[in-house]
Amino acid sequence: MESYTLCFPETDEPVWILGRQHHLNTDKSKLLLDISARLWFTYRRKFSPIGGTGPSSDAGWGCMLRCGQMMLAQALICRHLGRDWQWEKHKKQPEEYHRILRCFLDRKDCCYSIHQMAQMGVGEGKSIGEWFGPNTVAQVLKKLALFDEWNSLAVYVSMDNTVVIEDIKKMCWSPAQSSGVAHSSAHLHRSALGQNKNTAGLCPGWKPLLLIIPLRLGINHINPVYIDAFKECFKMPQSLGALGGKPNNAYYFIGFLGNELIYLDPHTTQSFVDSEENGTVDDKSFHCQQAPHRMKIMNLDPSVALGFFCKEECDFDNWCSLVQKEILKQQSLRMFELVQKHPPHWPPFIPPTKPEVTTTGAELIESTDKLFELEEEFEILSV
């Protein structure tokens, strides 16, 4: 651990990492454990070609996709293991941890793989192998989450720098598709704290919220007026950090010290890792065990996306009051707006649902045997 200490100056200023405060002079090792516990996704090589004939490495173009994976992975860790869960090398990890990792492996059948993200990006106007911006990666995660029944996340990506409380509540309280219970009864039966036990995923309850706020904090450079509010976001207990960086160079920002941001860097190419037969993943290459990187806030490209995770409704209500208190006190240039009601001039808000999968006729009937079975049943019914 001592080799890490060189990367931090001697200072009494606190370091903030995703809503947790650390003091360098008293608990440096705790800080470094906290940083290395984050899932670290980097460029990989030698995975199966994307789309069958596309690239088998994302080196040079996949950095923002990897940063999006890191932000989402942090949300899933908070959902299943809690913000204070720690990773230690060689220590046996819970099954949920391996299940989270498997969501991100570089295989076409993994929910948030580079394959799924690159192909979903085509619908956002990005060819496979093209660089994404923070907003594109947010839109892609929002679409992919609709197919992820295990985590059952509600992903809200704000529009026009505006977060609408009414729309988020509507989205997070929408009844599960497999349940016939009406939306209103979800409100009647939830406890005062919104502590629904939605274990089976069947009964309506608050869907854990991944909130992403794409922002432009200046024209060519970050406007200094936003710096304090931007730093404040890393102090919130709901913080998932920020996606951003420099043109065509994306980083996952997880905290700050003074006027420097602390980030995880995806620009390292490692070999593809698959899961073992028992479902575990050799996870050493998914945790950054080197000194964390730092950069001056003023060197940040103004195009960023903030991330927050609210497991329960009370977490979201708490986030709203923190925003009112810390972000909206800026009367001049606010970083973003938080409004109660859906703006009347906007198109109506419809919570996204999983698209119907369209199939060709050939796929509908898996074999001629199926067809004969159907014919036989039909004959029996018509007799």
Tell me if 223 sits within 8 A of 217, measured CB to CB.
yes
Cβ-contact 215, 336 below 8 angstroms: yes
Question: By C-alpha distance, which of 87, 35, 103 is closest to 264?
Answer: 35
63 is catalytic: yes
User: By the 8 A CB rule, do 304 and 137 touch?
Assistant: no
228 three-class SS: helix
| Catalytic option among 58, 265, 301, 315 | 265
Calculate the CA 116 to chain-centre distance. Answer: 14
- Catalytic-role residue among 58, 63, 106, 288: 63
Q: Is 12 a catalytic residue?
A: no
Q: How many residues does the chain have?
A: 383
Angle separating helix axes 63-80 and 114-122, nearest 10 degrees: 120
Q: Single out the residue of 100, 113, 116 nearest to residue 150, CA to CA.
A: 100
User: Does residue 15 contact residue 21 with C-beta atoms inside 8 Å?
Assistant: yes
Spell out the alpha helix ranges (H) of the chain: 2-5, 24-36, 63-80, 95-103, 114-122, 134-145, 165-172, 183-189, 227-235, 313-326, 361-364, 368-382
Identified catalytic residue from 23, 267, 287, 342: 267
Nearest-5° Cα angle at 132, 169 to 163: 20
Residues 256/297, Cβ–Cβ less than 8 Å: yes
With contact defined as beta carbons under 8 Å apart, do 67 and 312 qualify?
no
Q: Which of 140, 138, 139, 97 minimizes the C-alpha distance to 117?
A: 140
Give the pair of three-digit tokens for residue 279. 């479902």
Any catalytic annotation for residue 221?
no
Active site amino acids: 63, 265, 267
